Structure 1
Amino acid sequence: MYSPVKLGLKYIRYWFTAANGKGHGVHPPFVYAFISQVLNDKRSFYCFNPIEQLRAKLKLNKTMLQLQDFGAGSRVHASYQRSVSAIAYSSLKPRKFARLLFRMVHYYQPDNIIELGTSLGITTCYLASANTQVPVITFEGAEAVANIARQHFSALGLNNIQLVPGNFDDTLPQTLQQINKPIAFAFVDGNHRKIPTIAYFNQLLEHCTDQSIFIFDDIHWSEEMEEAWAYIQAHEAVTLTIDLFYIGIVFFRKEQLVKQHFTIRF
């Protein structure tokens, strides 16, 4: 990963070179609608406070968990201990972006959702709360972390979540084979390296339509992730991408006759 200084410099450059988040100068109606109706939607929905209360409790939870490190392959390479609070501070998607994902599901109304990287389940709760009639399949490698996420799903009464534990290399292909419909919405927040990220993209791509939406986390986190993001942007199936620095959003709309990439301040 990039050093904090280098990442900070990249963010400053992004902030001053990105299109403003008000939609001015962004001409395609689809992108303008995304900015005005989704990105800048300031409403506070009913589920926001209960989910954030769970986040606050996690940040105070000093319970130690035994975790597995799957490393580059499909085998467990090592195990280590980490506190729940440490995981909460380092791994949970910030409220700003978790709520954006909620708004995207609320606005675009996908009929199924895939999440690679449950962590402690906060983002999963946002995704599942946006439409409780839509199934959310979420994948988590660490069983101890998955158990805490399950408690949150139960506490919020979210019965539309299926949590799949285990290594993504094994569980993702198996699960995709079992799903009998295309993937409408996917959030990839798992192994932050080039080759795995591209592999997840290509596997999901086999199950998408021109109306599917993919979101990739931490696209500028490292040189590898920037290379993975460049690969995704260049893919022939991709017609439109939106770079919000911390996440990248991918569309496959066939009515988008000319491939376009937007970097928008958020």
Structure 2
Amino acid sequence: MQSLRSFFVWLMRIHCCRGFGIQSPSDYAFVRYVVNEHYPYYSYSDLKALMPHVDWKTRKLCCLYFRIANFLQPDVIFGSFCAQAYYGYLHAGCNKALIIGRMEMQTMSVDHIVKGLFVISVSDADFTSLLAKVIGVAGESSIMVVEDIYADKEAKARWREIKADERVGVTFDLYYAGIVFFDLKRYKQSYKINF
């Protein structure tokens, strides 16, 4: 049933494949060479062998986070995820980054993180406080990934609020997750991508 649903989602977004219609060269490059890169990266096979139990959706998101971490090379990676697989993929994507969990993020007293990668989920019980913390500390070179943006009506409403926030720049809607850039020098745009 899940594979049928994912095929239906892919079919509904067929016109959004591989950056079609994106005019900005940097946004197009991000979609083409990070979000929808199909080349098997150097660590994919090793990570798959280490974690064979991971379901297809989690692995798809893990590979995306690997590519984003590899692209961004952040100083800090914050994740509110519970699957251990995410840590392995994120560490392989950027082994110099400090990876911290939800509890550390809540107690952090940092005012500003210039280059950070933040992964949060709309379905987190403390989503509102996590979102406020992330938006408060994220620098213009930071990226935030929001999971489960289409989980229910409340999740969709929260995603719309995030896109409308004046502290948010370019956003990418991948259905399974949303990607948020904080660079306000770029023209504010929201893209729907077939991922």
Partner letter of residue 33 of structure 1? Answer: A
Higher relative contact order (CA 8 A, sep 6+): 2
CA distance in 1, matches of 2:14, 2:192: 5
Mind listing any 5+ residue stretches in structure 1 that lack a counterpart? 60-87, 140-167
Residue 172 of structure 1, aligned match among 93, 105, 118: 105
Q: Distance in 2 between matches of 1:26 and 1:46?
A: 28
Q: Using the TM superposition, give the Cα deviation of residue 118 of structure 1 relative to its aligned residue in structure 2, in angstroms.
A: 3.1
Partner of 2:89: 126
2:17 aligned counterpart, secondary structure: coil
Q: Are the aligned partners of 2:149 and 2:178 in contact in 1 as well (CA < 8 Å)? A: yes
Q: Deviations over 1:47-100 (max 9, x none)?
A: 2223222332xx3xxxxxxxxxxxxxxxxxxxxxxxxxxxx55xx852222111
Return the letter of the residue paired with 2:79. E
Moved over 6 A (4+): none
Residue 40 in structure 1 maps to residue 4 in structure 2? no
In the alignment, which of 123, 133, 144 is matched to residue 192 of structure 1?
Answer: 123
Aligned residues, how many? Answer: 193
- Which residue, 46, 50, 75 being the options, matches 2:46? 50
For structure 2, the 5+ residue unaligned runs are none
Match of 1:63 in 2: none
**Pair 181,235 (structure 1): closer, same or farther in 2 beyond 3 Å:** closer
Shift of 1:220: 0.2
Change beyond 3 A, Cα 1:229–1:52: same
Whether 2:148 is the aligned partner of 1:218: answer yes
> 2:70 aligns to what?
106
After TM superposition, the score normalised by the length of structure 2 is 0.85
Using the TM superposition, give the Cα deviation of residue 219 of structure 1 relative to its aligned residue in structure 2, in angstroms.
Answer: 0.6
CA displacement 1:152-199 (0-9 Å, x = unmatched): xxxxxxxxxxxxxxxx5xx5321x21x47516110114x605x73232
